[in-house]
Amino acid sequence: MIKVGICGIAGRMGQRISHLTLEAEGLDLGGGVEFPGHPVIEKDIGEVIGVPPKGISVVDTVEAMTDNVDVITAFTAPPDPTVVAAEIAGRAGVPMVIGTTGLSSDQVETMTQALKDVACVFAPNFSVGVTVLVQLVEEAARILGGDYDTEIVEAHHRFKTDAPSGTAYALAEAAARGLDRNLQEVGVYGRYGDTGARTREEIGVHAIRAGDIVGEHTVMFGGIGETIELAHRAQSRDTFASGVIRAIPFAVGAAPGMYDMRDVLGLR
């Protein structure tokens, strides 16, 4: 039985991962953590997620649960607690599954170094469909080439604190790979005012925040006389949480290193 520790157990994703963990064969909850001062601290994790008591209290430090879990998941906003969790998990030798977005390049580097001796599945989106979409976008960009303009539009709920989404950025990177371009040089994030004509090389990325949208991503390849669109629309957070459940046993059984959902699904 794999014991799972949940960082951000009271959050939207933490709640869904917890429920699906309890439903999954071979998995069980081993702990939950929230930030110091959160009202759920010291409450039974069963009470927090709306199931019968588990006899395990929510703690306010990752250190307090590392001895009782085999893997730790982290989906936090802001992203800083995920970096702290990675440093603690790395020292304790506990694998991780991380879906936090909005991390800076320095934070990703810190996290990668901290987890170098354990396995970590790190992805901006754990949806199986999105993982396939990333592959399709790279291949489509390679086939269509520079005669088609690439634009990406993502939409999320009003509470999301980072933009563009990590998934939109991953899609832009996939398009850049297919086009043999450097996203750092050609990425354009939103447009306003007298921007001038669009360059042939740029990859546009745009963000919408409204209502309770779970997550929508559309990649447009615009040519002369035709437009091709590849899109993914999530109807429920279970779309992402189900991917996390698939990633958990992979992380526990994998050799030390950084992985993503393509590895979990055997796509590379």
Q: Are strands 71-74 and 96-98 parallel, antiparallel or unpaired?
A: parallel
Rounded Cα gap, residues 167 and 64, in angstroms: 32
Nearest CA to 24 among 215, 233, 238, 236? 238
Contact by Cβ (8 Å): 55, 89: no
The set of catalytic residues is: 156, 160
In the numeric block, which tokens belong to residue 72?
């730790």
Give whole-number Cα distances, 160 to 13, 114, 153, 212, 260, in Å.
12, 27, 15, 10, 22
b/e per residue 139-178 (b: at least 16 CB within 10 A): ebbeebeeebbbbbbbbbeeebebbbbbbbbbbbbbbbbb
CA–CA dist 242, 154 (Å, integer): 21
* Type and span of the H or E element at 120: strand 119-122
Distance CA 112, CA 257 (A): 9
Angle at CA of residue 180, ends 178 and 185, nearest 5°: 115
Token pair recorded at residue 232: 């993914």
Tell me which residue of 87, 89, 82, 120 sits closest to 104, measured CA to CA: 82
